[in-house]
Amino acid sequence: KPVTPAPTPKKNNVLPDCSDKGSKLVGPLFIDQSIPKDMEAVEKDLSVDFGGTVEKGGKWAPTTCKPKHKVAIIIPYRKRFEQLKIFLRHMHPFLQRQELLYQIFVVEQLKNDPFNRAGLFNVGFVESLKMNKGFDCFIFTDVDLLPEDDHNYYGCPTSPRHMSVAVDKFNYRLPYATIFGGVGAFTKEDFQRINGFSNMFWGWGGEDDDLYTRITKVGFKLTRPSLKRGRYTMIRIHHFQSSKADPNRMNLLRNSGQRMSADGLNTLKYKLDKVDQQPLVTFVKIELKRSM
């Protein structure tokens, strides 16, 4: 009588941990500021294969090692499509070389209210977690900032972390010691601990200074990469200030610390219009509401 062989036990597929100092890192990078014709051209351009293709929604994960961090990249956005194409072409290979599990989210503010960068970051945090509860690290970045060195790690090696310390427009120096503009990283817990960003900054300026106060108020120690690793090129094309400076920002900054527990993630109000998973990025289109 033929003996049916016992089913072979599933191979124990334990991948080694990915490194945050991966062998795939190259250091200083070529910064391509030419404008891709369309998103399809960007897709074609991303020919470098690090062991897995970008999935719908702009997701990627390494296949040969276990990623150290699950990262949501959050971009506040309105009418910057030319810059977005350049950003995505630069960032997908950059993040893949860092062997991170990541997804790129663009949070688009509909309606013509002044731009509320901080509110859009808060929405990105909430909506990305709805899509994947596993995110443990959040990169809040402007669409026009391209990191020049891939040793500037977009995981959360420390939190909170200010990453864009040396931007070309400021001659590769910090314009002032307490600046937190540009690109920042937080673990999920640390971002929740400071109640996220304020929702009250409508228009340009101040929301990052407010965030700095939140960080120091709860006693967090802010870290930064070195001036060598934290270099950025600001995309020069289509560079305009989308909103006038917020006239109320100095008043708000006077009581950032007192306001933080009653202004942030716990008071965020918005209407979700659409989540659009495109091949290289997830668009989250929303209407931000005044929260108070």
Binding stretches for ligand NGS (CB under 6 A): 179, 181, 205-206, 208-209, 249
Least CB distance from residue 208 to ligand NGS, whole Å?
Answer: 5
State in angstroms the smallest separation of the CB of 181 from ligand NGS.
Answer: 3
We find the least distance from the C-beta atom of residue 254 to ligand NGS, in angstroms, to be: 11
Structure tokens at 33: 């500021």
Q: With respect to ligand NGS, which residue has the nearer C-beta, 160 or 181?
A: 181
Query: CA-CA distances (angstroms) from residue 21 to 148, 152, 155, 230?
Result: 16, 10, 11, 15
Residue nearest to ligand NGS (CB): 205
Nearer to ligand NGS, 39 or 204 (CB): 204
Closest CA to 51 of 42, 61, 43: 61
Residue 238 to residue 215: CA distance in whole angstroms? 32
Nearest to ligand NGS of 127, 208 (CB atom): 208
Q: Which is nearer to ligand NGS, 147 or 206 (CB)?
A: 206
Residue pair 25/150 in contact (Cβ under 8 Å)? The answer is: yes
Smaller CB separation from ligand NGS, 44 or 239: 239
Contact 271, 286 (CB under 8 A): yes
In DSSP terms, 274 is beta-bridged to 285
- Smallest gap from Cβ 182 to ligand NGS, in A, equals 7
Tell how strand 282-288 and strand 231-234 pair up. Answer: unpaired
Cβ nearer to ligand NGS, comparing 127 with 142: 142
Q: How far apart are CA 211 and CA 205, in angstroms?
A: 12
Phi–psi pair at 88, nearest 5 degrees: -65, -40
Closest approach of ligand NGS to the CB of residue 265, in Å: 20
Provide, rounded to whole angstroms, the least separation between the CB of residue 205 and ligand NGS: 3
> Which residues have CB under 8 Å from 42's CB, separation 6+?
36, 85, 88, 89, 280
Give SS3 for 259: helix
